[in-house]
Chain A
Amino acid sequence: MRFSAILLVIAAALAAIFSPRILDIHYLLDKSTLFTGTGLVALAMTLVIISGNIDLSVGSNVALTGCVAAKLLQAGYPPIAVVLLGLLTGTFLGALNGVMVAGFRLPSFLVTLGTMAAYRGAAQAMVGANSVKVPEGFTGIQRQLLALVPAPVVVFIVMAILTGLLLHRTVFGRWVVSIGTNESASRYAGVPVERTKIVTFALAGLMAGLAALMEISQLEVARFDLAKGMELDAITMAVVGGCAITGGKGTIGGTVSALILVMLMKTAMGVANVKAEYQLTAIGVLLLLAVLVSRLDSHQPAKPGKSPTKAA
């Protein structure tokens, strides 16, 4: 957490030096609308990871929900109904993950690997390779400004605050942390482990649904390849923000600062004309560095864990 904060300041300074054109608040706010979807998903991912799980299917969830919503809009359903149905769809897809993980006791990594493919595949089966146009009335959410700030950013800030409160100030939040720290102990202490887990995944789905609605409004189309790779970005943000992939540690504040960091990096690199593949590499290296630093930081002897999300 401290790591990402320090990095953020350094990155901002470097950006100021090397890409002065980036220091344009209008531009940054406009650019940030491209990241709000990932940001929302990263918020929920933080909860999932703290509870000791992982969700690789969020990107596909966004795609499927987005396609469903766009089709509903095309069929003439009123926007309010579509928003509700969209959120419901996302939550449902997320809850499915939760049920399989908590109910069937399946490893979250595998379940969400499967649903990542399944949801994306379902979107592909539904709309093929075509773009589904979003009707006029629903588009352009990023042009709606509240006090000069684009609506998507406002939505994100609100959700960030809410999620932060949920995690750090409610009993539910404490349950999430305790499950991630020591699941069996939590169970004995009376924490409703299964229900909590399902809720974390459902929340992830809810965020995905919200992100989907905003994405299709911004892009004016829905496609099956929407939000490709979003899950990796979200995980990167959570981990760089200080979440321990083994669970039990992490803050919303950390994730948010990591989000800003990634956004700054990608944007600065783009304006500085760095090729897209190298941007990808830079983010990959960032992730590795972040995990390295957190490993060095935590002074924990590495328990020989047996799952891919635990250290060797």
Chain B
Amino acid sequence: MITKRVNIGVIGLTLVLLAGCSTAPEAGKSAAGPKAEAGAKTKLVFIPKSSGNPYFNQVAKGFEGIDGMEIDTQAPTSADATSQLAVIKDQVQRGVNVIVISANSPDALNEALDEATAKGVSVITVDSDLTGNESHRALGILPTDFSKIGPSQVELLGKSIGYEGEIAILSATADAPNQNAWIEGMKKTLSEPKYAKMKLVEVVYGDDDAQKSSTEMESLLSKHPKLRGVISPTSVGLAAAAQVLENAGVYPGGPKATGPGVVLTGLSTPNQMKKAVAKGVVASFQLWNPADMGAIAAYLGDQIHTKMATYKQGDEVEVPGHGKLKVGPKGVIFAGDLLTFDKANIDQFDY
């Protein structure tokens, strides 16, 4: 009994202590917004979808060499929709000026981001945008014109299989806004006459998890013996699928290929695919340079914060090192062009 009373006493004491050391100075600081921080370095935090993903590490590379800003990366340990909430709140409390985020969910973060904006923090999304909820952020930096990705991927695959045969798609999570946009684009492209002889038999989801992606790829191979091609527009999926293809030996020219083999392509970072390309498991794939997005987001974030710049649709922005970029509808900016990697050029890249 005595110890229990001591316990409650301690809790009470702590709460009083915390409450006492409280609010006025903090409230003042956080509500003041950019002007109050003039002269201080802009604090930026990058919140990727999850940690340990080379793709986002590459985005962060775009921050290198930028002076005059304090940039940190804080990733949640898993890519579920709500994992970024606590990070956002903590960072706002910490006093960041700009949040650059790759959203795990198009809508679960709305409220937290609104709170941040109300406190004077600018929010910019990179790579994965708040589809349908764009009003909750200032700008969206997307890697490349999304509407071009679907058609490019289909064309890349089509060329390799003579525009004929059964194909499948191995995606990431069913919820990811960017994946869904690209898949829609692919389906639309497939309905064109040029691709009339190519048939999409299945779309499976690997959840950006190595194990799941592998299982899904294996089952694609089992379920569709006549499968000619697979598109995996996600680096985890493509890497896992490439390994499965190598293990199964059914890539074009592979030891167990019956007929022309299964062609695999998609989106991934060059480093992850170097071996696969060298061995001929994957002939070519595409990506952009994620670092472009990082650099652009950081620059624009700084501009918004220090110069209270605003960007509306139709504006043209000059970003040092990246030329003139146009602000499109819903505040979307495309960072660059799609690059195709194959045996000829892959060794030139290191990311």
Residue positions of A touching B, CB distance < 8 A: 1-2, 5, 8-9, 12, 16, 21-28, 30-31, 34, 128-131, 133, 140, 168, 219-221, 223, 225-226, 228, 251, 253-254, 256-257, 260, 266-267, 270-273, 275-277, 280
A257 to B77, CA, bound (A): 26
Shortest C-beta distance, A133 to chain B (Å), equals: 7
Some 22 contacts from A to B, beta carbons below 8 A apart, are A9-B13, A21-B26, A22-B93, A23-B26, A24-B22, A26-B23, A27-B26, A28-B18, A31-B86, A128-B174, A129-B175, A129-B207, A130-B174, A131-B81, A131-B107, A140-B111, A219-B81, A219-B85, A225-B81, A226-B82, A253-B7, A277-B77
Q: Are A275 and B90 in contact (CB under 8 A)?
A: no
A41 to B27, CA, bound (A): 32
Interface flags for B131-152 (1: CB within 8 Å of A; 0: not) read 0000000000000000000000
A225 to B87, CA, bound (A): 18
Q: Apart from A31-B86, A276-B76, what 6 extra A-B contacts exist at CB < 8 Å?
A: A1-B4, A8-B14, A129-B173, A131-B107, A168-B4, A223-B82
B3, B4, B94: the one contacting A273 at CB < 8 Å is B94
Of residues 78 through 96 on chain B, the ones whose CB sits less than 8 Å from some CB of chain A are: 78, 80-82, 85-87, 89-91, 93-95
Q: Which of chain A's residues have a CB closer than 8 A to the CB of B82?
A: 219, 223, 225-226
With A22-B93, A129-B205, A276-B87 as contacts: A223 and B81 at CB distance below 8 Å: yes
- Kindly name the residue among A130, A267, A276 whose own CB sees the greatest number of chain B CB atoms within 10 A: A276
Q: Which of chain A's residues have a CB closer than 8 A to the CB of B58?
A: none
B309 interface hit (Cβ, 8 Å):
no
Q: Which of chain A's residues have a CB closer than 8 A to the CB of B10?
A: 5, 8-9, 257
A129 to B77, CA, bound (A): 18
Q: Are A221 and B107 in contact (CB under 8 A)?
A: yes
Question: Chain B contact residues (Cβ within 8 angstroms of A): what range?
Answer: 35 or more
Q: Which of chain A's residues have a CB closer than 8 A to the CB of B86?
A: 31, 34, 266, 270
Residue positions of B touching A, CB distance < 8 A: 3-4, 6-8, 10-11, 13-15, 17-19, 21-23, 26-27, 51, 72, 74-78, 80-82, 85-87, 89-91, 93-95, 105, 107-108, 110-111, 173-175, 205, 207
Residue of B nearest to A129 (CB): B174
Residue of B nearest to A277 (CB): B77
A225 to B22, CA, bound (A): 35
Q: Are B107 and A133 in contact (CB under 8 A)?
A: yes
Q: Are B94 and A130 in contact (CB under 8 A)?
A: no
A83 to B18, CA, bound (A): 34
Q: Are A256 and B175 in contact (CB under 8 A)?
A: no
Q: Are B90 and A24 in contact (CB under 8 A)?
A: no
A272 to B45, CA, bound (A): 13
Q: Are A23 and B74 in contact (CB under 8 A)?
A: no
Q: Which of chain A's residues have a CB closer than 8 A to the CB of B78?
A: 228
Q: Are A253 and B85 in contact (CB under 8 A)?
A: no
B87, B110, B207: the one contacting A220 at CB < 8 Å is B110
With A228-B78, A256-B11, A280-B77 as contacts: A23 and B18 at CB distance below 8 Å: yes
Q: Are B8 and A221 in contact (CB under 8 A)?
A: no
A16 to B107, CA, bound (A): 34
A225 to B205, CA, bound (A): 16
Q: Are A220 and B14 in contact (CB under 8 A)?
A: no
Q: Which of chain A's residues have a CB closer than 8 A to the CB of B205?
A: 129
With A220-B110, A223-B82 as contacts: A24 and B93 at CB distance below 8 Å: yes
Q: Are B21 and A275 in contact (CB under 8 A)?
A: no
Q: Are B3 and A1 in contact (CB under 8 A)?
A: yes
A207 to B22, CA, bound (A): 32
Q: Which of chain B's residues have a CB closer than 8 A to the CB of A25?
A: 18-19, 22-23
Q: Which of chain B's residues have a CB closer than 8 A to the CB of A140?
A: 111
Q: Are A21 and B17 in contact (CB under 8 A)?
A: no
Closest 10 CB pairs of A and B: A270-B90, A253-B7, A129-B174, A24-B26, A23-B21, A5-B10, A225-B80, A25-B22, A271-B94, A276-B77
B8, B26, B75, B94: the one contacting A276 at CB < 8 Å is B75
B8, B27, B80, B94: the one contacting A26 at CB < 8 Å is B27
Residue of B nearest to A133 (CB): B107
A21 to B89, CA, bound (A): 12
Shortest C-beta distance, A22 to chain B (Å), equals: 7
Residue of B nearest to A30 (CB): B89
Q: Are B11 and A253 in contact (CB under 8 A)?
A: yes
Q: Which of chain B's residues have a CB closer than 8 A to the CB of A168?
A: 4
Residue of B nearest to A226 (CB): B82
Q: Which of chain A's residues have a CB closer than 8 A to the CB of B80?
A: 223, 225, 228
Q: Which of chain B's residues have a CB closer than 8 A to the CB of A9?
A: 10, 13-14
Shortest C-beta distance, B76 to chain A (Å), equals: 6
Q: Which of chain A's residues have a CB closer than 8 A to the CB of B85?
A: 34, 219
A226 to B81, CA, bound (A): 9
Q: Are B27 and A24 in contact (CB under 8 A)?
A: yes
With A25-B19, A257-B7, A270-B90 as contacts: A131 and B175 at CB distance below 8 Å: yes
With A9-B10, A266-B86 as contacts: A277 and B51 at CB distance below 8 Å: yes
Q: Which of chain B's residues have a CB closer than 8 A to the CB of A254?
A: 7
A300 to B157, CA, bound (A): 68
Residue of B nearest to A130 (CB): B175
With A22-B93, A275-B51 as contacts: A5 and B6 at CB distance below 8 Å: yes
- Kindly name the residue among B23, B93, B111, B175 whose own CB sees the greatest number of chain A CB atoms within 10 A: B93
Shortest C-beta distance, B51 to chain A (Å), equals: 7
B13, B22, B108: the one contacting A131 at CB < 8 Å is B108
With A22-B93, A26-B23, A128-B174 as contacts: A275 and B74 at CB distance below 8 Å: yes
Q: Which of chain B's residues have a CB closer than 8 A to the CB of A272?
A: 94
Q: Which of chain B's residues have a CB closer than 8 A to the CB of A131?
A: 81, 105, 107-108, 175
Q: Are B3 and A2 in contact (CB under 8 A)?
A: yes
Shortest C-beta distance, A159 to chain B (Å), equals: 16
Q: Are B81 and A221 in contact (CB under 8 A)?
A: yes
Q: Which of chain B's residues have a CB closer than 8 A to the CB of A2?
A: 3, 6-7
Q: Which of chain A's residues have a CB closer than 8 A to the CB of B77?
A: 276-277, 280
Q: Which of chain B's residues have a CB closer than 8 A to the CB of A228?
A: 78, 80
